[in-house]
Structure formats: C-alpha cells, structure tokens
Structure 1
Amino acid sequence: MYIIPFVAEAAEKKKDGFDFTEAWGVTIASGVTVLGMILAAWIAYRAGRRQVADQGLIEHRHWRRQNRLEAYKQFMVATDSFTEAMDKWRTNHSAANVGRALETLIAAEAGIRLSGPQSLHPHGERVIQAAKAVYLRVRRPGLIVLPIPPQQWVQLTRDVLDAQNVFVVEAAKVLDDPDQ
C-alpha cells in the first residue's frame, strides 16, 4: 500500500518541463511540410519569372533583327534606285530623277540610324556622301550641260557601289550577331 500513495502523489504533481506528445510531432511535421511547400513555390515562381524574362529577351532580339533587316533592305533598294537614276542621267541629263533618288536614299538612311547599331551609321553615311558627290556633279545650274569625263564618271559610280558593298558586309555582320 505504500506504493499506491506514491503513484497518486506523482500523478497530482505538475510537471515543470516540456511534455513532448504525439500532437507536437504532428504539428512540427506539418510546419516543416508547409515551409517546404513555400520554398518550392518560391523556387517555381523565380524559375517562371526567369523563363518569361529569357523568352522576352529572345522575342525582343528577334523583333529588333527584323526591324533592322527591313531598314537595311529599304536602304539597299534606295541605293539601287539611286544608281539607276545615275544611269538614266547619262542619257537624258535630268538631275531631277537623281535628286529624288537622293532624297529617298537619305530617308532610308534615317531608318538605319533609328534601327542601329551605332557601328553601322558611318557606313550608311559613306553611301550618302558618295551619292551627294554624284548629285553635286550632275546638278549644274544653267542650260548648258557639260559632259562628265568617263574616268570621273566611273570613279563616282565606283565610290557609290564600293560604299554600298561595304555597307552590305557590315550589315550582314550585324544581322549575324545575336547580341547586337
């Protein structure tokens, strides 16, 4: 009988420490699970944002390349129109066609300046300068049209075509480089 009062006294006595029961184990496991889910959701969110950003960058580069390609094509067409106007001038000596072709070429060069890159601007400007040199030579005030010596005409034509060829080479480099 001595043992029973000791057990009864121990049951009535309150514990001062922490009593780890099964409920606490479930609570801790649930908390760890929730934290794991939050971490997984955050990682998925960051990966999704990164994927969207990468896709946006790819789309922007594609858009920029297409705009540049269109601007370069317009410039090339304008340059070809200018050389055709030069050829026609040799037969009809009308500087008006050459002047209109030069204006079209200058407008197309503005598209190059807008679409870039900066490294291509001097090459477009070189074509414009060569075309202006031709226009200044064929546009003469007065009624008398003086013939242009053949060697000078060949040199003026060569300057325009050489500048155009350099532009084409540099434009191809820009279009081939995905980082530009």
Structure 2
Amino acid sequence: MSDTEEVPLEEIAEEEEVEAGEAEAEEQGGDEEGDEGEEFEEEVSGDVEAEAADVSAAPDAGLGYVEAPDTGEVAEIILVTTSLGSIRRQFFSSQRLKNFLDCKGVVYVIIDSNRDTSSAKNLKDVELFKEWKANRILKATEETEFSSEPEVIIPQVLVDGVFVGDETVVQDFEEDGDL
C-alpha cells in the first residue's frame, strides 16, 4: 500500500481556479479591503452611436491623421487577373496591381482568368469570367482582322460591378489623388 492519498481531479481543478483568480486579482491591483475592481468599472450608456460619435470627435491622439468616419458602406472591389506566367506582360501587370492594392490596404476579391488554375481548384472564376465577358462588363480590346473575338484586357479592376480601369488607369487615379 502507498502512503499517498488519492485526491479527485475535480478538487485539484477547483484549487487551480482559485489560485488563478487570486493571482489575477493581485495583477489588477485590488485592495485587501474587498473593493476589488472598482477602479475599472465604467458607466455604459447603451447608446453605441453616441459613444462612437464621442470617439470619432476625439483629436488625432498624436497619430498624425484623423480617421475617416465609418459610414458602414463598403464597395465590392474585384481584381480580374491571371496566374498564367506565359503571357508575361499580363502576368507582371497583374502582380503589380495586386501589390499596389495590398499596399493601399484595399480589401478585394481576385478572379483568375487562368482556366487551368480555376478548374484545378474547383473555383467558379472561369464561369464568372465568361459571363462577364458575354455581358460586356469586362473591358476588351477592339476586334482586329486577325481575331474575330476581342481579348479581355488583363488586369482590370471592377468596383461594384463597374469597370474602373487597368493598371495604368488605377495608377493615374493614385497620382491625381482620386483613389
């Protein structure tokens, strides 16, 4: 027989919780007199819009800029690009535009016009691409005597389903301060 006493796991867990609670109370700087946490209590009015207005009316807090008000409206930005590296001009233009949008902190959706990648990943990109091309949402080159079907310009940006431009147009918007 062993001299050790068996202690149920439930009692051990309760002791650990009590010890953790005491340690947390000490970290928060609670008094020994029992008025723990009174310093941290804050009155909440329940009016979220009024509190948000108070925050937005605050000065820039030394950040160097004042945040724009959040209107709750967000535009859907779509980047039509290609992952096919054999057409280098389109591929590198797509990468530059993707990097530019990333640097600006823009949230966007990528539609890859490469049929191989889309079908391998079981994506609907090709279906969307074909539908938008048929509905003339995507900007295409002019028909020439060598091709009966115009080619879609890649990359291009759509905002709420409206063509904005390709890489050079987006860069021009940035230079003019219109972006």
TM-score class, shorter: under 0.3
Greater relative contact order (Cα 8 A, min sep 6): structure 1 or 2? Answer: 1
The TM-score with structure 1 as length reference comes to: 0.24
The normalised TM-score by structure 2 is 0.24
More helix by share: 1
